[in-house]
Amino acid sequence: MASNAAIKRLTREYAAIQQNPPEYIVAHPSESNILEWHYILTGPPNTPYEGGQYWGTLTFPPDYPFNPPAIRMLTASGRFQSNTRLCLSISDFHPKSFNPAWSVSTILIGLMSFMTGEEMTTGSIRASEMERRITAAKTRWFNSTGNGSSLRKIPGVSGTQGPSSTSLRTGDGGARFRAEWPEIDAENWKWMEERRVDPATGNVVKPSSTQTCAPGARALPILNSTPGAVVEGAQVARNAGQGFIRRNIGLVIFFGFMVYAVASRLLSEGRSMHQEL
């Protein structure tokens, strides 16, 4: 149970962080427990975490600020193990190095600074810059689906890449994130829908291309099941694929003959007139 000093201090710090939030950081205490805070770090520009949404917790001791909080990052980041206590000078691993003058903002700014560096400690992991960028692109999906364990579907997207892998994943379906960050969770789902992100896999699903028919096939009418209708439909299809000359070969021959006859007659009359002269 939190001491009166801890309650007063954390209440004051919540008001301060609302009025003057640090850049790329939001945080609030849980409604049911003022000693449990939830934060989101937005990956800063020009880092492998750019645009990522990193959710985690600060668990304060009852005698805060005389002892530091336990720090965890719940979102997969490529920098820290998920849901693991982090060994930092501002965390409960080093109570003697903690300064009671440090605030929640100070702790989270320190966490951001450590995250964007390369120093290793308990709870941190190694990954390439590319791996961290790929992980950053999936953080919204990770948070709101509980790493793909959500049963929620997106029409036209869910299930288009084969059997769902949801049953193979463990997680709460994003329930805890949704309880702490309902507005951000709604934005995440809208973001996934607009980008056609499959909730089960986190992969972008491309729209299926509509195959176009050949001109003859497009000319096919809706056919009955009678043989005559099938023959008629096939004839229409053939005609649609033929040129004007092939479809009107009889007329072409007729007019060609007439032109030949007229030309021959005019030529014959011209010769007769020339002989008379």
Tell me whether residue 87 is one of the annotated catalytic residues.
yes
* Bridge partners (DSSP) listed for residue 71: 58
Cα distance between residue 149 and residue 254, in whole Å: 75
User: CA distances (Å), 269 to each of 255, 256, 258, 260, 261, in order?
Assistant: 21, 20, 17, 14, 12
Secondary structure class of 210 (helix, strand, coil) = coil
DSSP letter at 225 equals S
Q: Which residues of 34-64 are buried (b: 16+ CB within 10 A; e: fewer)?
A: bbbbbbbbbbeeebbbeebbbbbbbbbbeeb
Catalytic residue among 87, 125, 205, 236: 87
| Residue 174 near residue 150, CB atoms below 8 Å | yes
Give DSSP secondary structure letters for 69-83: PEEEE-S--SSB-TT
User: Is 189 exposed, middle or buried, given 0-12, 13-18 or 19+ CB atoms closer than 10 A?
Assistant: buried
By the 8 A CB rule, do 54 and 40 touch?
yes
Residue type, 19: Q
Nearest CA-CA partner of 68 in 106, 31, 12: 106
Strands (E), 19-140: 25-29, 36-42, 53-59, 70-73
Cis bond before residue 29 (omega within 30° of 0): no
Catalytic residues: 87
